[in-house]
Amino acid sequence: MQSAEPIIQLVGLGKEFRTANGPIKALDDINLSIEQGEIFGIIGLSGAGKSTLVRCINYLEVPTSGDVLFENKSLASMRPREQRLARQSMGMIFQQFNLLAQRNVLQNVCFPLEIANAPKKDGIKRAMELLEIVGLKDRAKAYPAQLSGGQKQRVAIARALATNPKVLLCDEATSALDPNTTKSILGLLKDINKSMGVTVVVITHEMSVIEAICDRVAIIDQSHIAEVGSVKEIFSEPKSKIGRQLILGDAAEQVSRFGGSKRVRISFDGRSSFEPVLANMILTCKVPVNIMHAETRDINGTAMGQMVIQLPDNEVDQNRVLSYLKTAGITHEEVKKHDL
Ligand SMILES: Nc1ncnc2c1ncn2[C@@H]1O[C@H](COP(=O)(O)OP(=O)(O)OP(=O)(O)O)[C@@H](O)[C@H]1O
């Protein structure tokens, strides 16, 4: 679905809030290009400026400097009608769903069409089609209070799509949902992106969300873009400090559990591939290990060579790994530091 045509460009974008305690610079010199048809993630810690950024994209917040280009045209320089149409081309969903409690599901989805003065019959037809897409056709008469969080977000997605937007902006859309519901909502967003060609912009503080659906990602830190790239690139080699913190955070924490503990040399003699050996060991023992050194070659799916792993400090964990290696018939020996 991806093409190289930009649909949204942020050029030197800045946003400053005036508060009683002085100005707060929420965004500073943001330059980003989001391509038509992609799923673009924006990740950062709390307070980094993510929500402000996404709200500036559709002019819910008007930037204090720089420009937002939608389909190569500056929102700031558009005539009011043109700007309204451009903003209508960007649907939005939120963490707290923001459904109208007094309206049923169908009426919620029809709402943006009423605002856009669409004929009522057409509105209902379109809303029912969308409810079918999000899997809630049979709940058209239900009220938001009668729905689960995941169902509410599905209604919000249908409502956001009612005016046929080209872009769907998702501000922490799964942050209030449990992991399974999150997975199904992310799946739905991916399907919508594929089947309708809608560009999706996902704002999140969770790396797992980026990993699950995004093509590219920008990391935002303290009002600035720290790095941008394909999810693959950024995950395999984060260049910024905040990128390493977000991506390797857990791993870095795990490493601190190792201290100067026991090391084991595993020899691979071609009978097995080293990945399943390590993966099975970690899955079976539920113990993280640290790869200190590896001289292995994957030859036609089998591993030759050796690898030194470091075990956690905890003796029970160490014994678990050692007895696994023994039972699995994997050649290994304990090594001292100077043996490395
Ligand atoms: N309307 C506002 N008035 C004043 N300051 C604001 C306003 N909106 C945001 N800010 C400030 O701008 C900065 C960025 O906030 P923003 O909500 O964009 O961050 P965020 O990355 O979305 O954080 P979170 O994940 O916690 O929502 C913060 O310092 C915040 O306090």
- Mean pLDDT (whole number) for 45-55: 94
Compare 209 and 287 and report the one with higher pLDDT.
209
User: What's the CATH class of domain 1-89+200-256?
Assistant: alpha beta
The pLDDT value recorded for residue 203 is: 96
Domain with CATH 3.30.70.260 in the chain: 263-335
Distance 239 CA to ligand 1 centre (A): 25
**Which has more confidence, 224 or 252?**
224
- Indicate if ligand 1 lies below 6 Å from the C-beta of 50: yes
Residue with CA at minimum distance from ligand 1 atom 2: 17
Q: How confident is the model over 132-182, as pLDDT tens digits?
A: 999 999 999 999 999 999 999 999 999 999 999 999 999 999 999 999 999
Check whether 287 has a pLDDT greater than 50.
Answer: yes
Q: How many helices (H) and strands (E) does the chain have?
A: 11, 14
Comparing 259 with 168, the larger pLDDT belongs to 168
Instruction: Report ipTM for this prediction.
Output: 0.96
256 CA distance to ligand 1 centroid (A)?
Answer: 33
DSSP H or E segment with residue 281 = helix 274-285
Contacting residues for 15 by C-beta, under 8 A, at least 6 apart: 25, 26, 27, 49, 52, 56, 61, 63, 64, 65
Q: Which fold has domain 263-335?
A: Alpha-Beta Plaits (3.30.70)
The 10s digit of each residue's pLDDT in 87-131 is 999 999 999 999 999 999 999 999 999 988 889 999 999 999 999
Q: What is the pTM of this model?
A: 0.76
| Residues in the chain, total | 340
Closest C-alpha to ligand 1, atom 14: 49
Question: DSSP for 61-120?
Answer: S--SEEEEEETTEETTTS-HHHHHHHHHTEEEEETT----TTS-HHHHHHHHHHHTT--H
Where exactly does CATH 3.40.50.300 map onto the chain?
1-89+200-256
pLDDT of residue 63: 96
Contacts of 138 by beta carbon, 8 Å cutoff, 6+ apart: none
Mean pLDDT score of the chain: 88
213 lines ligand 1 (CB under 6 A): no
Regarding the beta carbon of 24 and ligand 1, being less than 6 Å apart is answered yes
Q: Ligand 1 mean position to 54 CA, how many Å?
A: 11
Residue closest via CA to ligand 1's atom 13 equals: 26
Using CA positions, which residue lies closest to atom 3 of ligand 1? 17
Q: What is the pLDDT of residue 340?
A: 40
